[in-house]
Amino acid sequence: MLFVFTKDFYFEYVETKAQSQTLQQTITQKNEEYDKLTKIKSEINSPKNKDLNLKKFLIKFSEDELLDYFYTYSNDNFAKVKIDSLNFSQGNLNEFGLTQGQIDLVATFTSEADMMEMIDVLLKSEKYNLYIHDFSYQFGSDFTGPIKVSIPLKVLYK
């Protein structure tokens, strides 16, 4: 007889206890996620990563502005490099939420050292996040004269 009067309270108690357990599991998961994010934040702010320029991942630019960056370098170093063609293709979002564009650069360099100098300047750019995924060129020790190469660059931006 007592069960008949208290069965509603019992079922409410069981339901509340189940909700409480579910919420406790959610709290535990969120605390683990928070700990991971806190660890990532501390790694980003660590002295070893202080020199990273993370702002260049968040830049917004026009295609003309980016292409002008290449032509400005070429004009400033006209004795070392001549840009034969330069094409920019906007890409899609990658798994990190950044857009990955493709830049196809074809240039003629007076020497291998001049080519490496330009590549170094491009990859260490303060403003643009450029990188080379795959690059090769034919060069022999007996080769003299200008070097014409195609350099496939990628740019990451927001």
What is the pLDDT, as a whole number, of residue 146? Answer: 86
Q: What is the pLDDT along the chain (158 residues), one digit of tens a residue?
A: 455 556 677 778 888 899 999 999 999 999 999 998 888 778 767 766 555 555 656 667 677 888 888 999 999 999 999 999 999 888 788 777 778 888 999 999 998 889 999 999 988 887 888 888 888 877 666 667 788 899 999 888 77
Q: Torsion angle, CA of 95/99/104/107, rounded to 10 degrees?
A: -110
**CATH topology for the 55-157 domain:** Alpha-Beta Plaits (3.30.70)
What stretches of the chain show up as alpha helix (H) in DSSP?
2-44, 63-76, 112-123
Domain ranges of the chain: 2-49, 55-157
What is the pLDDT, as a whole number, of residue 30? Answer: 93
